[in-house]
Amino acid sequence: MTLPLFDADSPPRTEPLAPGAVVLRAFAREQAPALLADLRQVVAQAPWRHLVTPGGYRMSVAMTNCGALGWVSDERGYRYDPADPESGRPWPAMPAPLATLAREAAASAGFEGFVPDACLINRYDAGARLSLHQDKDERDMRAPIVSVSLGVPAVFLFGGARRADPVRRIELRHGDVVVWGGPARLSYHGVAPVKAATHPLLGEQRINLTLRRAG
């Protein structure tokens, strides 16, 4: 399936998910080409890699980071690190337009003053998925999570504060942004296996940019 460059069925709008959580449809669509150009510079400095969980499981999602802190996983556990473990160098700086987009998205969702210091960048090929989890490695739980979707669609799974809570399935398309914080900050979330498709800007890939206040 080849997707159009712009989705005429998804004009910019806000969809509430839960108290403290919203989907900002098409919020990043116009900025996407510039974001992807900046992303290529980040990947040139900190290439994609498949991290391994503490239990020895190789993640299907390819990852890298930018910003003052980067999220990493290995046999020692999950954590944020100011240096790329593969190179020993600091992670690439967070592009200013990306930080601005995150701040504006957070404000649109009711979270003023968001200043991200970490951006986890995930690449999903067909079949890649992310199991339900909570984002709880950050020190400041008052700050929201801002998640930007680019490329082929994916089904975002969004539950509650307990793993057993009911889970909503929300299709995210190119340019959609999800923001959750406040009472929804520790909601379980994940991504269902991504279906094969082709996007004009990213080919058969989905890129997700998750911005956080980690330090």
pLDDT in tens, 9-48: 556 699 999 999 999 999 999 999 999 999 999 999 999 9
pLDDT in tens, 64-115: 999 999 999 998 899 999 999 999 999 999 999 999 999 999 999 999 999 9
Tell me what pLDDT residue 166 has.
96
CA atoms 138, 20, 124, 96: torsion sign: negative
The domain ranges of the chain are: 13-212
Mean pLDDT rounded to a whole number for the chain: 94
State pTM to two decimals. Answer: 0.93
**CATH of the structural domain 13-212, one choice from 3.40.1390.10, 3.30.70.260, 3.40.50.720, 2.60.120.590:** 2.60.120.590
- List of residues 6+ apart from 100 with CB closer than 8 A: none
Tell me what pLDDT residue 119 has.
98
**Tokens encoding 57:** 């499981």
Q: What is the average per-residue pLDDT within 54-61? A: 92
